Amino acid sequence: MNKKGVVRKSKKTLGNKISITLGIIVVLLLVWAVLHYYWQPAKPLAEQQVLTVDRMVNVEIKNLAFNPEEVTIKAGESVVWINNDDMPHSIVFDSGIELSSPQFVKREIYGHQFNETGTYSYHCGIHRYMKGKIIVE
Ligand SMILES: [Cu+2]
């Protein structure tokens, strides 16, 4: 009787330990899932490209539009977008290559140096109807 009792008790304790361990694992997984979903570290803008100030053309983003919408520059020159809207925007080339900026908010800027000639159509990655064009001669 006694032995059976001891065995039963230890089984119960083992079961409790397993449940607690599983509980902790489930909680940790949930915490990880939430963090993984919400925590996306933004790449520092400065790290992406170093620009020269020989010639920079500014494009203001205001009222969900790029102004000026079309800009002509020479190869090697840069375009700097200045967000003056109360919402985030981004710069994404229509071609899907070469340029895809992170989202940047009011009073933040994003710059890109254009070294290759060509016509670069772009849009905002968030508001796809916002369109602009950079012509590099
Ligand atoms: Cu936008």
Q: How many Å lie between the centroid of ligand 1 and the Cα of residue 91?
A: 8
Same domain membership, residue 28 and residue 53: no
Between the two ends of the chain, the Cα-to-Cα distance in Å is 94
Same domain membership, residue 7 and residue 64: no
CATH code of the domain covering residue 114:
2.60.40.420
Q: Is 131 exposed, middle or buried (0-12, 13-18, 19+ CB in 10 A)?
A: middle
Domain count for the chain: 2
C-alpha dihedral (37, 39, 44, 48), degrees to nearest 10 = -20
Residue 133: band (very low, low, confident or very high) from pLDDT cuts 50, 70, 90: very high
Q: How many Å lie between the centroid of ligand 1 and the Cα of residue 85?
A: 9
What is the spatial distance between Cα 56 and Cα 73, in angstroms, rounded to a whole number?
9
Residue 65 clears pLDDT 70, i.e. is over it: yes
For 19-47, what is each residue's pLDDT tens digit?
Answer: 888 888 888 888 787 666 655 555 554 44
Q: How many Å lie between the centroid of ligand 1 and the Cα of residue 89?
A: 4
Report the SS3 class of residue 17. helix
